[in-house]
Amino acid sequence: MVDFQSGGGFASSITRKEYSYNGLTLNDTSTDTDNYYLLDFVDIDDVQVRNIEEEKALDDGIQDYDSYLGRRIYRVTGKIVASTQANLEDMMQDLKDYFNPRLLQENNASTNGYMPLTWSEDFGGTTYTMRLELKPMAIPAIQYDFEVGGLVAPFEIILKARDPRKTDSSTISANLTITNSADTVTNAGTYMAWPTFTITGPIYFSSLTISNDTTGKYTSLSGAISLSSTKELVVNMADRRIYTGTNVNDYYQYVTSGSTFPWDINSGSAQISITGHALSAGTVKYSLRSTWI
């Protein structure tokens, strides 16, 4: 129980999990023990599941198709605690600015206003800095609490995740061996992770296949592609795009009809390989983040 009347700061004896978003840290009660944003709870809704089904016209039952995860809603409630009225009003305005969806979209057009929420979580004895891309659904609702002298202001923030998966903030990456041999890639999470492959010139190939040998899924490109020195071709499974480093030319048209695109890395280790016809010098690097739901 917090003793707001004791000396040495309101939160001098509190240890709480900190959450960071858009440059603001919530539950940071140690930097300034008299002025802080204190969380009551983070309410994480169940992930919405999209499923398509249709009635069978000439038989019993239904035709059931694949299920896919939809968005996820985060409801964050807490209180602003300040030592003076001026500090409280400044912190109220700061909270509205940090979580203003219009400002976030204006200042982060490339992500459509989505920003990473980060915090620490322990899985299997290992501590990870988790990351989830979120955007506020409204400017935070804030109230004065006059029962405690007007220096506490409860708030509620509602955010949405267009991708419900949370990932490790650290990226796993390494160069692949450009041969018929396979390299081992490990997803330490419990859910599928989407890899990205970056091919850097100078390199030329008339065909290229990137394979998950563990699952048998692969993506093949057919057609002469030449990359000059330092130019990159990115195969991004998460964004379902194949493009140059400048994002000018879309190479999705080179994907062969028998390919699986995109494909993922299941929980645990997988063998991946890259092969090509007339594949010359250059580098191919993979990267992914361990993933959980």
Task: pLDDT band for 129, please (50, 70, 90 cuts).
Answer: very high
Query: Which of 166, 194, 223 finishes a domain?
Result: 166
**CA neighbours closer than 13 Å in the CB half-sphere of residue 44:** 8
Residues 142 and 252 in one domain: no
What b-and-e string marks burial along 68-92, b requiring 16 or more CB atoms within 10 Å of the CB?
eeeebbbebbbbbbbeeeebbeebb
Same domain, 147 and 227: no
Question: Domain for residue 142, yes or no?
Answer: yes
Answer for the pair 195, 265: CB distance below 8 angstroms, yes or no: yes
What single DSSP character describes residue 149? T
Which tokens hold the place of 96? 């509205």
Residues 196 and 70 in one domain: no
Q: How confident is the model at residue 232 (pLDDT cuts 50, 70, 90)?
A: confident
The CATH number that applies at residue 83 is 2.40.30.200
Q: Do 232 and 147 share a structural domain?
A: no
Which residues, at least 6 apart from 147, have a Cβ–Cβ distance to it below 8 Å? Answer: none
Most confident range (mean pLDDT) of 142-146, 213-217, 278-282, 283-287 is 213-217
Whether residues 74 and 183 share a domain: the answer is no
Q: Which of 1-15, 61-75, 180-194, 254-268 has the lowest mean pLDDT?
A: 1-15
Phi, psi of 174 (to 5 degrees): -170, 160
241 shares a domain with 112: no
SS3 breakdown of the chain: % helix, strand, coil, rounded to 5? 10, 50, 40
Mean pLDDT of 229-248: 81
Is residue 10 within 8 Å of residue 23, measured between CB atoms?
Answer: no
Q: How far is residue 77's CA from residue 74's CA, in Å, rounded to a whole number?
A: 10
* Average of per-residue pLDDT values in the chain: 85
Which token pair is 192? 């599928």
Residue 1 lies in a domain: no
The phi and psi torsions of 113 (rounded to 5 degrees) equal: 90, 0
How big is the chain by its Cα radius of gyration, in Å?
24
Span 130-155, average pLDDT: 88
Element of type H or E holding 102: helix 101-107
* Band of pLDDT at residue 13, cut at 50, 70 and 90: very low
Provide φ and ψ at 95, rounded to 5°: -60, -40
Are residues 278 and 142 located together in one domain of the fold?
no
Whether 104 maps to a domain, the answer reads: yes
| Residue 180, in any domain of the structure | yes
For the domain that residue 288 is a member of, what is the CATH number?
Answer: 2.60.120.860
**pTM: predicted TM-score of the whole model, two decimal places:** 0.81
Residues 26 and 158 in one domain: yes
CA separation, residue 16 to residues 22, 59, 138, 159 (Å): 19, 57, 26, 21
Task: Indicate the burial class of 126 (C-beta count within 10 angstroms; 0-12, 13-18, 19 or more).
Answer: exposed
In this structure, are 119 and 180 located in the same domain? no
Please report whether residue 13 resides in a domain.
no
Q: Residue 4 domain-assigned?
A: no
For residue 7, what pLDDT is reported? Answer: 37
Q: 254 is written with which tokens?
A: 């080179």
Position 132 scores a pLDDT of 93
Amino acid at 77: T
**Boundary of a domain, candidates 115, 148, 166:** 166
Q: Are residues 266 and 146 in the same domain?
A: no
Residue 14, in any domain of the structure: no
Task: Tell me the residue range of the domain where 236 lies.
Answer: 172-292
Any domain includes 6: no
Q: Residue 102 is which amino acid?
A: R
CA–CA separation, 97 and 99 (whole Å): 5
Same domain, 152 and 191: no
How many domains would you assign to the chain? 2
Task: Give the pLDDT band of residue 214 (cuts 50, 70, 90).
Answer: very high
Residue 159 has pLDDT above 80, yes or no: yes
Q: Do 59 and 140 have their domain in common?
A: yes
Q: Which of 119, 140, 166 is the last residue of a domain?
A: 166
Q: What is the pLDDT of residues 25-77, one digit of tens each?
A: 999 988 888 899 999 888 776 777 888 889 988 889 998 888 888 888 999 99
